[in-house]
Structure 1
Amino acid sequence: MLLPLSVLVLVGFWYGCFFLANHEIRAAKAAGGWYEGVRQVIAVDTELRTDPPRFPWLWLAPALIITIATVVIGVISYPSMPDVLAVHYGAKGMPNRLAAKSIGTAFSLVFVQVGVTALLVGIAAAILFRSRPDIDPAHPAGSAQWHRRYMLLGAKALLGLLAMIDLAMLGSSLLMWTGTVTPWAPLMVALPILAAVAVAVVVFAGNNRASDEGEEDTGLTHREDDKYWRSGLFYVNREDHALMVPRRFGLGWTLNFGNPRTAMILAGVVALIGLVITLRFAS
């Protein structure tokens, strides 16, 4: 209980600092007239509709192979599985929750694996085909080229992370199916995911800026859109048909909470969490 509570306190403290900083920045913009005399425009890349990026199917293959392998191994191993399965492990790798063998308990992680795969593939597709490009009006050509590469890189990173998540679930399932007890169990599950996250952050950090070499500055700037960012974090714009938009800071994208399709994604996440709770903790 102490670790989750400390994480919540840390997140709350971080957001409190962010909220205060965002409030001060907005006040400074208004007081200083940051956008007075500046032409604000929205730059678009029409080629994203006529020539959209290709979905990286080869990057999806590892996740699909691992998921299929998990299903096959589970089906073959089911008759020889212990009558009582360890469905949860503690921090030291010791089982702290047991359940009688059944389809629901034995294949609980497989169901979650399939759900996570479908969800992240959908998000990767949304990044490529339903996200709003963040094109700099001052250097539209170079910014558009960079954004196309950045979207594809984001989709590949997400699919790579998905493969590591599926691999971690395969390892966790094998521990449960064989009744193996090892102090290294938490590391077997966490290390593949942490490694994938670390690699993605490093790659994104090295490709987080567009090159404007050789392109003349147009003198234009982004349209001020503070009114659409609730509390500085949540983008809500019903007139924007994009499902995902670039985050205002850091890496990646965030949902447009003004788009009705966002409710479908959130419902999928809630259903996935409910599936985990039902299969892993219901006895």
Structure 2
Amino acid sequence: MELTLFLVIIGFLFVLLSATPFLLRRTIAFGVTIPEGHTDDPTIASFKKIYAATIFITGLISLIAYFTLANTSSLTEEKIILTGLAIQFGIIFLSMGLYFYFHAKTTRLKQLNEWGLHLKQVRIADLAIRTKDEMLPSFLYALPMIITIGLIAYTATQYSSMPSMIPTHWGPSGQADAFSPKTPFSVIALLLILLVMQGMMLGINAFTKKSGIKLNAAKRKTSQIQQLSFRKYTSWLLFMISVLMTVLLGFLQLTTIHEGLGSAVLMLALPLGFSLIVLITTAIYAFKVGQSGSRINVDIEDDSIAGITDVDDDKYWKAGIFYVNKDDSSIFVEKRFGVGWTINFANPIGYIILFGPLLLILAITFFL
């Protein structure tokens, strides 16, 4: 079970990371703004191919070696898990190293060729575009929270009949492998963690909805459709994950209240099914939508305008990853490398939304 799970995760990881440069907007390469007219530069194309090939080949070799080692050696469950984690972190560190290397080379290439120097920088503002935004309303994210609060109330009514030792951790096999003595706090700790994560997702959706919508100055109509689609599908993906978490952790809570509710097969299948659904859905989202909706085909004739380009805001992106702009009211902004959103590190509210829940979860687990 552990081996299968790690093989799936490692395969997903190196395929997604190797594809990342091709999932981004054409006007962004390794965190650097590339003006229209230079997006097909052969040197940048070679950077992307080298990055992708290195990650993919390394990941594939690691996956084969991991599978072979696990099947030819008498590795313990602990060693299988540790080896799998080591491979995952190794692939991530390799991708980070390659990213910073090619970020520096792309920045240098842009400076040497003076890309965008003779183009007029334009920032497009469409005041009516928010009326077309189809991101999910925040009240939908509150529905899983209501279910969790209901489970907390139900747990309180069943407190006296619950076992003296409460599960606090479940292994890859779906069976509990860590316990804590029964207290009014420990019996609802899992639900409190779930409630915090649900609240975090609600906050991310709400503040992402208020974030700025950046349109391509040279391809306004196309970028508008892609941007709106990207925001809609991101919102749905986040909501789906919130619902799946509620189902998984809610079921684990019910098995704690009613011992014997879940069979061994079900306890194994549920977390595995959760992981597979999330991974597959995320992969479909990344490859079908792409960052900023860049992979969504738009069958429309755009009024391409020559001689202009988007405002170059590279100065606000530290290493092309960390966005720091105190003049931007947006709390969340689109990533420059990867698919999704990151915070504006100059806005303290972003820290509260992301790191506040993490600190709460750590506090809950500490007091168990």
Name the TM-score class by shorter chain: 0.7 to 0.9
Structure 2 spans left out of the alignment, 5+ residues: 1-80
Residue from 350, 357, 363 that aligns with 1:269: 357
Contact 1:40 1:222 in 2 (8 A): yes
Structure 2-normalised TM-score?
A: 0.67
Q: 1:28 to 1:54 in 2, by over 3 A?
A: closer
Is it true that 1:175 corresponds to 2:250 in the alignment? Answer: no
Aligned to 1:253: 341
Is it true that 1:239 corresponds to 2:321 in the alignment? Answer: no
Aligned to 2:120: 39
- How much has 1:132 moved relative to structure 2? 2.1
Q: Distance in 2 between matches of 1:93 and 1:183?
A: 9
Q: Distance in 2 between matches of 1:244 and 1:120?
A: 13
Contact 1:204 1:251 in 2 (8 A): yes
More displaced stretch, 253-262 vs 68-77: 68-77
Aligned to 2:148: 67
AA at the equivalent of 1:115: V
Contact 2:331 2:350 in 1 (8 A): yes
Q: 1:96 to 1:49 in 2, by over 3 A?
A: closer
- How much has 1:17 moved relative to structure 2? 1.2
Q: Distance in 1 between matches of 2:145 and 2:357?
A: 20
- How much has 1:251 moved relative to structure 2? 2.0
More displaced stretch, 65-74 vs 136-145: 65-74
More displaced stretch, 27-36 vs 167-176: 167-176
Equivalent position SS for 1:103: coil
Mapping 1:154-173, distance limit 5 Å: 154-173=234-253
Q: Distance in 2 between matches of 1:106 and 1:228?
A: 46
Residue from 191, 194, 205 that aligns with 1:124: 205
Aligned to 1:214: 301
AA at the equivalent of 2:227: H
- How much has 1:179 moved relative to structure 2? 4.2
Q: Distance in 2 between matches of 1:100 and 1:90?
A: 19
Q: 1:88 to 1:271 in 2, by over 3 A?
A: same
How many corresponding residue pairs?
279
- How much has 1:204 moved relative to structure 2? 5.0
Equivalent position SS for 1:191: helix
Q: Distance in 2 between matches of 1:170 and 1:104?
A: 16
AA at the equivalent of 1:160: M
Q: Distance in 1 between matches of 2:175 and 2:284?
A: 34
Contact 1:87 1:176 in 2 (8 A): no
Structure 1-normalised TM-score?
A: 0.85
Cα root mean square deviation, aligned: 2.7
Q: Distance in 2 between matches of 1:192 and 1:199?
A: 11
Mapping 1:88-237, distance limit 5 Å: 88-129=169-210, 131-180=211-260, 182=264, 185=267, 187-203=269-285, 205-207=287-289, 208-209=293-294, 211=298, 213-219=300-306, 220-237=308-325
Contact 1:169 1:189 in 2 (8 A): no
Aligned to 1:23: 104
Over residues 35-90 of structure 1, what are the superposed CA-to-partner deviations in whole Å (9 max), with x where a residue is unaligned?
Answer: 13222222222225677656435743652454245334423432211111222223
More displaced stretch, 43-52 vs 109-118: 43-52
Equivalent position SS for 1:133: coil
AA at the equivalent of 2:280: A
AA at the equivalent of 2:197: V
- How much has 1:217 moved relative to structure 2? 0.2
Residue from 73, 82, 91 that aligns with 1:10: 91
More displaced stretch, 100-109 vs 67-76: 67-76
AA at the equivalent of 1:75: A
Q: 1:103 to 1:190 in 2, by over 3 A?
A: farther
Over residues 88-122 of structure 1, what are the superposed CA-to-partner deviations in whole Å (9 max), with x where a residue is unaligned?
Answer: 22333443322211121111111111111111011
Equivalent position SS for 1:214: coil
